[in-house]
Structure formats: structure tokens, C-alpha cells
Amino acid sequence: MERLDWKGINIGGWLMWEGYIMGGRNIPEKEFLKEFSEVNGKEETQKFSYLFKRKFIREDDFKNIKNIGFNSIRIPFHYKIIEKEEWRWIDTAIKWAKKNGLGVILDMHALPESQNGNWHSDGKEKPLFWKKKRNMERFIVLWKKIAKRYKGEKQIVAYDVINEPAVENDRLLADVYNKVIDEIRNIGDGHYIIVEGNYWATDFKFLKFLKKNKRIILGVHFYQPMNFVFNIKRDLKFPGKIDGEIWNRKKLRTILSNYLRLRDLHGYPIHIGEFGINVWGNRFSRGEGEWLDEIIDFSAKEGIGWSYWCYKKVATPVFPSAIYEYNENPFWLERGGDAPEGYERYIFYWKRFKRRIVKSWSTSEFSKHNILLGFFRSKLRQKNGKNRH
């Protein structure tokens, strides 16, 4: 069975907005930009969007990721990046990855009208992507564009074609996967293609309808048990009783072993495209390190690739912690106060405090999460294996 040696990290919030990453409400990207435009105008909104992408992630970040010990990056992006042909962001990321020896996973995080109905796919309540043939046609065209542009690019290790789909019809999900795989292969692109499980990358019943193909990877996301991992309930510990069940290393291995059975049955390697945990404080106090340790050790033993979520974000007491966190609380980002809070305050302070806001996006303004950073440096100390292309 083929093993994946990818030990990576997600660059979340860069080419696809997620509210909590910038300390605010989890609202769709389009809703935030609409409100921003109503106050600041179209031209300033375009400038804001451009400056954020230009400042939030820089070449030094790629060098830093490599120096920590990671060997790959997963880049979540909004489909509009491709539809508007804003290739410079992905082109530049590939150039930086090449200079620093990092494999690149391109992850379409938001599809037309949302593949899961959640804010993190620019959706709201319903996954309307699956309701309209036109949406699926646009999706296929976008991946054909990507394949034509990058089919010979060796720095790219995989295409993660649909992030966290959620659709009641497993056959429909498989049909969309079959079509996009065929179109990518017809262009002559042999990159690995990641097919994520249904219901937020957890359920693989659709595999019975998936055509047999080469260089396919099963994409899993792992945030279990969520109330503990996201620190939604503050008194939970691992191992321990969580939501009425005993959670320990054995239970984590049992869940992950279910994916191994699918791997062995279908012959496709596994990539855990997202996993992460909230570490609120200056030490592992709830068993966070043991949870992380089990996932990474299990993956190393079984040849599973992984990408931690995520690289940088505004510090918050819920949702996964990042390697770099913004701990300041200026008035134009105020968290924990009256609404609006977090990045939604940019809307009202942008014109007067633009330079200070833009400066705050630089990683040099963020603090190292020393607990997580130390953990990953220790786990990645051994020499990274060569990425398999």
C-alpha cells in the first residue's frame, strides 16, 4: 500500500475568508465584503481585498514553515480566485514553495453557491451547489483551467477538488467526482486527486459509485470529539468522559482504523487534510498534546499524510489554535466587546486607520504559539520523507 509522507500545515484564511481566523463572527465572505463595500465603496473594497492577500502571507512565511519542519502546505482558496483569473496568488505561492522545498495541495474551499451550506464555504444554511447543473458545470470548468495551467507543475502534490462536501445523495457526489477526475485526466494532468468524504470529509459511502482511477487519495478531516477539540465546553479533558462517552487513544485509533479498512479495500492512500485543537493558555492542560500525539503517531505508522489547521489566526478561546496567533486587541479589532467585533470593525475604521490595520496582518505582528510550535518542532525533528509525486 502506498504511503504518503506529507507532513503539512494549512494556510487558512488567506485566499478564502473565515471569520474566526480574524477574530470575528463566522459569516460568509460575500456578506462581509458586501457590508464593507456599502460603507467604503467598491474601489476601497477591492483595495482592501488585494492588500490583505498581499500582506497576510509572504515568502518569509513559507521559509518559516519549512524551518519548523513541515514539508508541505495546503492552500484553501475561493473558487472566485480562479473564476476571476487572479492566478498571481497561486502562482506566487507555488514559486515560494519551490524555493523552500514545500509540496503544495490546492484545496477548493468554496464552490459556487456552497458545497455544504456553511460560512467556511461562503454559504449560508443550504448547500445550493448540488441543486443546480450550472454550478457543477462552472466547477468542472474551473478545475479544467487549473489543470491546463498546472499539469506540468511538480511542486503541486495534489488537487483537493471539493472541501468538506455535504449532500444527501452519495451517487450525485460520486458523479461530480467522476466528471472532474475525467476532465483533469483528459487534459493530461496526472496529479494526485483528493476525494474528500461526504459530510465534512467523514463519510465514504459514495465510494461504491466512484469509478476506479489511479492516483486518487481519500481525504479525511478529523476534529473529534468536537466539543473538546474546539474547546466549546471548557471543562473537558482527554482522556476522559466527553459527551457521555469515554474518549482515549484507543477510541481515536478505532475511528482512524475505519479509514484504513477503506484504504485497504479500495487501494487509495489517506490524507488527513485538516485536524487541529484549541490550546488556550501557556501549556497543554486538557490533554491536547496527547490528542495531537496520537493522530500524528498513528499517521506515521500507517503512512497517512496530514495537514494541521492552521498556520496563523487571531487568538480565540474556541476553534483550533494556530502556530502563530495575534494576541493584541486594538480598538479596530476589538474582541469580546460589543458587536461588531473582530474583522467586522475594519468596515468602520478602514479609511482612517488603513496603514495600521494592514501592518497588523504581517506575521511579524503575531506571536509564536510556543506550546504548539514546540510540539511540532519536536515531532518533525526526524528528517522528512521525500514527497511522492
The secondary structure of the chain in percent helix, strand, coil, rounded to multiples of 5, reads 45, 15, 35
User: What's the rounded Cα separation, in Å, for the pair 260 and 275?
Assistant: 17
Predicted confidence pLDDT, tens digits, the chain (389 residues): 799 999 999 999 999 999 999 998 999 999 999 999 999 999 999 999 999 999 999 999 999 999 999 999 999 999 999 999 999 999 999 999 999 999 999 999 999 999 999 989 999 889 999 999 999 999 999 999 999 999 999 999 999 999 999 999 999 999 999 999 999 999 999 999 999 999 999 999 999 999 999 999 999 999 999 999 999 999 999 999 999 999 999 999 999 999 999 999 999 999 999 999 999 988 999 999 999 999 999 999 999 999 999 999 999 999 999 999 999 999 999 877 666 788 999 999 999 999 999 999 999 999 999 999 999 999 998 654 444 43
Cα-Cα end-to-end distance for the chain: 15
Domains and CATH numbers, the chain: 7-379 (3.20.20.80)
**Residues 6+ away with beta carbon under 8 Å from 165:** 115, 116, 127, 173, 196, 198, 199, 201
R_g of the chain computed on alpha carbons: 20
- Quote the CA–CA distance of 117 and 127 in Å, as a whole number: 4
Q: How open is the CA angle 198-199-201, to the nearest 5 degrees?
A: 65
